[in-house]
Structures are given as C-alpha cells and as structure tokens.
Amino acid sequence: MKLMGILGPRGTHSEAAAVYLNEIIDEPLELIIYQEIYDVLIAVENGEVNAGFVPVENSLEGSVNITLDTLARSDNLIVTRELIWSVHNHLMTKPGVDASQIKKIFSHSQPISQCRKYLQKNFSTAKTFTTSSTAKAAEIVAESKISDGYAAICTKRAGELNNLVTIADEIQDNMLNSTRFFEIRRRNEDFQIDSPKDKILIICQIDGEHAGALCEVLEEFAFRNVNMTRIESRPARTKLGEYIFFFDLDTNIDQNILNESIAAVKQKSIWLKNLGSFPVIIANNK
C-alpha cells in the first residue's frame, strides 16, 4: 500500500481531513504521522512517502507559512489535490468534570483564537494554555485529575481517542471557519487524477527594485481574462524588500490562453515555478 505523510498526532484536524480524503479517492493511502509540517514535505521530497497532506491556509488565521516557504524552495514538489475542510471545535473534558469546575483550557493557538468570544462569555475566569496540537491538549486533559478542572478545545475524534466527554459543541466564533489542505507529491511520480482540474498554482519572484513590476505581472492575467483566485506574498529570503508571489489561477479558460499568460509572466520574473493543476474538493463535513 502506498503511503501519505500527515501532521500528527492522531486526532488532529489534519488527520480527520486525511481520513476523509482517503474515503473518497480511488486509491487510499496508509497514513504516516509526522510531528511537523516541514517533516511531511521533506518526507515526500526524499521518497519516504508517496504523498503528503498538509494545511496551507485557514480562513480566519491566514496562510501556513512553512507550507508556502517549503514549496517555494523545492524544485521537486507539486500540488495534486486541494481539500477544503470545515473546522469544528468542541470543548471536552474528563467524565465527572462539570462546566462550573473548569479552571484551565488547553488547545493549539489557532483554536484558542478561533473560540475567543465563546471563552470570554462562558469561561472568563478560566486560564488558557497553548499546546502543540488539539490532540495533545486532549491527551493532557485525559491524564489530569478531576479536581484539576482541565478541559480541551479539540476535535471529536481527539476527545473520543482519549475518553473525554463533551461540555459544548461547535464553540468556534465563526461557523464558516475552514482550512485548505494540499495533497503534495513528487514532480516526476507516475500519478494521474481523472477529476477535472479547477486550479493551477504558480510561484514566481519579480524584481522588487523595478517600479510597477507586480502591476505588469497582474496585467498579463487581466489582459487575457485569466481569473486569479488568490495572491500571496512571502519574503524571498535574499534581502530586505524582495518577495516571492503565489498565484492561484482558475483553469476554467482555454488552455492555450492560460499557458500564454504564464509564459508572459515568466518573461517578467526572475524565476517562475509551475506547481501543477489540481481538482478542488469541498469536504462534506459540516
């Protein structure tokens, strides 16, 4: 069976989304857990696994920089699928702990931020503590004593894996909270997807000292009516003021026109990488 690296431990949103993806694709992959997103991507690049599944952007907290930076630096990685995953946060604790007894709440920094209004309204006297993941928060609560009054903001799966019970469901402040995940593979791997391709991702560096350089690049897309669904910039890590740009482009256009626009942008860039075209899957996990 082929392997796919994911961000662990078990019970995270990443694992839940990867399990969902496995259920709907033609060739499921065995999930291999890594402790860091960077480790997942390097494992793909080195051939330790056939694919990696990593978060790239959250609708509330923004981009996952380590994913973008690693893709920009690699010549061997491409995007083969995108999954949009609805984020559901739950407040869970040990059996026997009442809501009025909760003194400390543990979670990853993003869920704590995403549930800030709920916590201020319902648990204003409880202290929050940041953990490496929502799954780790669930583990900490499971190992605590009832008298400690610990609770975790985590996924249902993390709570169930650690025998926790639910204090409150769906405590995120924004019910439209979602995370984009990329399935990543090696560029030369023999792999085909029959699904229609919805997006193409290109990365380029332009001359920051040239006035209007970004405008000129954007005009190449606008002139040909190429729909740009997302633009993101990251430091080029060369010198101050130099940036790399990530462009998500809609592929619902004549392929020749799309290729022509990318070629024109390449001519106006210091370098350009095409990370491939891919389908976008919207998970049915609401």
* Domain locations along the chain: 3-86+178-282, 90-168
pLDDT exceeding 90 applies to what percent of the chain? Answer: 72
Calculate the average pLDDT of the chain: 92
Instruction: Give the full edge-to-edge strand order of the sheet including 165-168.
Output: 127-130, 104-107, 150-154, 90-93, 165-168
CA 61 to chain centre: 11
For the cut 80, the answer to whether the pLDDT of residue 62 exceeds it is yes
For the cut 80, the answer to whether the pLDDT of residue 39 exceeds it is yes
Which pLDDT score is estimated for 2?
92
Look up the CATH superfamily of 3-86+178-282. Answer: ACT domain (3.30.70.260)
Three-state secondary-structure class, residue 195 = coil
CA 209 to chain centre: 32
Q: Is 270 exposed, middle or buried (0-12, 13-18, 19+ CB in 10 A)?
A: middle
Q: Which of the pair, 272 or 239, is modelled with greater confidence?
A: 272
Least confident of 57-71, 151-165, 203-217, 266-280: 203-217
For the cut 80, the answer to whether the pLDDT of residue 148 exceeds it is yes
pLDDT exceeding 70 applies to what percent of the chain? Answer: 99
Q: What pLDDT band is residue 258 in, cutting at 50, 70 and 90?
A: very high
Which pLDDT score is estimated for 192?
79
Cα dihedral 42/43/49/55 (nearest 10)? -60
The yes/no answer on whether domain 90-168 falls in CATH 3.40.50.720 is no
The C-alpha R_g of the chain, in whole angstroms, comes to 21
Which pLDDT score is estimated for 20?
94
- How much is the average pLDDT of 147-155? 96
**DSSP H or E stretch at residue 23:** helix 13-24
Q: Is 256 exposed, middle or buried (0-12, 13-18, 19+ CB in 10 A)?
A: exposed
